[in-house]
Structure 1
Amino acid sequence: MGMGWVGYRRDQEFVQAALRDPDVLMDLLDDEDEDNSTDLDKAWHGIHWLLTGSAEPDAGVGSQVIFGGEPLGEEVGYSPFHLILPADVARVAAFLEGVDADTLRSRMDPAAMSAADLYPDIWDQEYLLDQYVLPYYEDLRAFYRAAAAAGQGVFHAIV
């Protein structure tokens, strides 16, 4: 199984409900609405590295893509849900629009990624970037773009 990153985009009404009662977030895990969610499988840590050059989160907008927002409620796997508010979602989406596949390709460094102990330890496989990471990245860009356009918040967790 392993650790996968999941994200859900929701309207302001749901954001307010989750702030009042984080238990409503548990329903997200059963949500199969692919238009309003994304699942990065195990590519999340590699995507973070390609955006930031680091395995660890920092205060930069590139790090907010995967690790942003405030934690809400209990752990749902390997982390609690985090909420990225709509204004921050717009900043993340704008940042992602400036980072295309060629940019990520130029940052791919399997030796450095393995040395940084990125999860999972698969970064030296030649097919990985084009056939695994980049398709998830493009889904992630589209997810944040749609959330920003709709003025939505993003809830995400590592499950």
Structure 2
Amino acid sequence: MLPPMSMNGEYLRVTPAELDRALKDPEWAWGLVEEVLDGEGEPAPAEARHFTTHQTWHLLGFLLQRSAFPVDIVHGEEPLATDDWGYGPPQYLTPERVQLAADTLHRTTYDQLIQGVDPSELTKAEVYPQIWDSPASLEWASDLFTPLTQFFRDAASASHAMLIWID
């Protein structure tokens, strides 16, 4: 698989049974991803199985790590496969870790995440993409933070796990 032109953070909600199957058969998991991406259309947000943070994934990861967020929701925490799904292998979060992430996201605002951050920190840390030339650039991911929070809350309320990858 060839990497696309930009790097995007991707999420797929899966049931515990689907996670078990994905762990035993990562090729099946990639097929599920393709099936969902090809057929999802525009479901109600609570029913959406896929979410993307587009290119904001690295900024969100930097901000969440800086705030000592308890779950790595940008990269995942456990390896799912060794095959490259774009820019590295996919990882996953268990339903329990999705629940913890959802609870913590619910108590976190984007303004809290960017409080005290100087854009030069992002440049120095080489946060992708390199657009950190003004304080206003910190607002770039704000429009995706609330939907990401809701996506995790919906997944947690259904006791779903999460597949996570950068493509």
- Is the shorter-chain TM-score for this pair beyond 0.5, marking a shared fold? yes
Structure 2 unpaired stretches of 5+: 43-47
Instruction: Kindly report which structure 2 residues correspond to 1:41-120, keeping only aligned pairs within 5 A, or say none.
Output: 41-53=54-66, 61-62=70-71, 64-73=72-81, 74-120=83-129
TM-score by length of 1: 0.86
Question: 8 Å contact 2:78–2:91 — kept in the other structure?
Answer: yes
> How many residue pairs are counted as aligned between the two chains?
153
Aligned Cα root-mean-square deviation (Å): 2.0
2:45 equivalent to 1:36 = no
Q: CA deviation at 1:51?
A: 1.4
Query: Aligned partners of 2:34 and 2:165: how far apart in 1?
Result: 10
Query: Aligned partners of 1:126 and 1:109: how far apart in 2?
Result: 7
Match of 2:141 in 1: 133
Question: 8 Å contact 2:36–2:49 — kept in the other structure?
Answer: no
TM-score by length of 2: 0.82
Q: Sequence identity, in percent?
A: 27
Query: Aligned partners of 1:81 and 1:103: how far apart in 2?
Result: 29
Question: 8 Å contact 2:9–2:166 — kept in the other structure?
Answer: yes
